[in-house]
Amino acid sequence: MTITAAADGSALGNPGPNGWAWYIDDANWAAGGSPHGTNNQGELQAVLELLRATAGSDEKLVIECDSRYVIDSVTKWMPGWKRRGWRKADGGPVLNRELIEGIDEAMRGRDIRFEWVKGHAGHPLNEAADERANAAAKAYQQKQEPRRGPGFVGAGGAGAAVAASAPVAAGAATARADAETSADRGAASGQHPAASASVAAAAPLWAEMSDLLDGLDAPLADPIELRLTLSGPEHARLQDRAAAQGVSLEEALRRLI
């Protein structure tokens, strides 16, 4: 079988409040965003989140995307950027490197193809993703929680997606999100070595991380590592919080501690 999905981004003001969304069907979609970002960042994030969500599936994945920038970044330009140490041909740094580098890592072991579609031209999946990405951007503009969707629950709305975890360190321990990603081989079809990643679907949004850290405020003689299992929407919410603060996910987790 083949999973066909659309990924899209939106930014109000560009940069401004932005949103991302991927859509397979009404039972399988997700959206998120941040208070400040660009349209290209939303487009890239949508692809990355789609690949995270479907990482546990063995099905082929076709991604409908109306962004030439995203498709060309992944299928044309990225090999050269990597050879030059993530520098463009003119020597300048690659924009949105963190997202693109994540997609590069996520490409491993997946049978994925991008298909360009014209935006706002009646393509059902693209229209659905666009609507949700724009709604997420508007929610951030209004300082509201966006509709995040059910995540990926599999064909026919049955089955469970694979779980993602984010290790949180207290004291001197490190904090990092353990959600590996899986992304596109590009329009041609070449494969990377296998990547193992996981994201859980449809669970209540995480409450407040501080509630989970009660009692850990005393000085620690030795570093400890605390592992916390997160659903896909919960992991997305963490990422949104980090983006809102303009820091990495690790730093955002440290600040909560």
From the candidates 49, 64, 104, 130, give the one annotated as an active-site residue: 130
From the candidates 19, 32, 42, 66, give the one annotated as an active-site residue: 66
Reply yes or no on whether 66 is catalytic.
yes
Rounded CA separation 55/53 (Å): 6
Query: Domain for residue 242, yes or no?
Result: yes
Which of 170, 241, 245 lies closest to 208, judged by CA? 241
Query: Domain for residue 154, yes or no?
Result: no
Which of 245, 230, 244 lies closest to 177, judged by CA? 230
Q: What pTM, to 2 d.p., does this model score? A: 0.63
Pairing label, strands 16-25, 28-37: antiparallel
Q: How confident is the prediction along the chain (257 residues), in pLDDT tens digits per residue?
A: 899 999 999 999 999 999 999 999 999 999 999 999 999 999 999 999 999 999 988 899 999 999 999 999 999 999 999 999 999 999 999 999 999 998 888 878 899 999 999 999 999 999 999 999 999 999 999 999 999 999 999 855 433 332 222 222 222 222 222 333 333 333 333 333 333 222 223 323 322 333 333 333 334 344 556 667 777 666 766 777 666 555 577 766 765 55
Considering only CA atoms, give the Rg of the chain.
18
Q: How far is CA 152 from the centre of its chain?
A: 13
Reply yes or no on whether 222 is catalytic.
no
Reply yes or no on whether 235 is catalytic.
no
Query: Domain for residue 157, yes or no?
Result: no
Report the CATH number that the domain containing residue 115 is assigned in CATH.
3.30.420.10
Query: Domain for residue 150, yes or no?
Result: no
Determine the structural domain holding residue 92 and report its residue range. 2-145+162-256
Q: Where are the alpha helices (DSSP H) in 54-112?
A: 68-72, 78-83, 97-106
**Residue 213, C-beta contacts closer than 8 angstroms, at least 6 positions apart:** 168, 170, 256, 257
Cβ contacts of 243-251, under 8 Å, gap ≥ 24: 243/34, 243/35, 243/36, 243/37, 244/34, 244/35, 244/36, 249/166, 249/176, 249/177, 250/174, 250/175, 250/176, 250/177
Helix 39-53 vs helix 232-245: crossing angle, to nearest 10? 150
Reply yes or no on whether 130 is catalytic.
yes
How confident is the model at residue 232, as a pLDDT?
65
CA–CA distance from 214 to each of 42, 107, 194, 233 (Å)? 34, 38, 38, 23
How confident is the model at residue 154, as a pLDDT?
82
Cβ proximity of 48 and 103 under 8 Å = yes
Query: Domain for residue 65, yes or no?
Result: yes
Number of compact structural domains in the chain: 1
Rounded CA separation 52/184 (Å): 11
What number of other Cβ atoms are within 10 A of residue 244's Cβ? 15
CA–CA distance from 50 to each of 7, 8, 151, 226 (Å)? 7, 10, 9, 27
Pairing label, strands 60-65, 112-116: parallel
Query: Domain for residue 155, yes or no?
Result: no
From the candidates 58, 90, 120, 214, give the one annotated as an active-site residue: 120
Query: Domain for residue 129, yes or no?
Result: yes
Reply yes or no on whether 111 is catalytic.
no
3-state class (DSSP) for residue 178: strand
From the candidates 9, 32, 154, 186, give the one annotated as an active-site residue: 9
Query: Domain for residue 156, yes or no?
Result: no
Which of 105, 133, 129, 106 lies closest to 39, judged by CA? 133
Question: In the beta sheet, which residues pair with residue 60?
Answer: 2
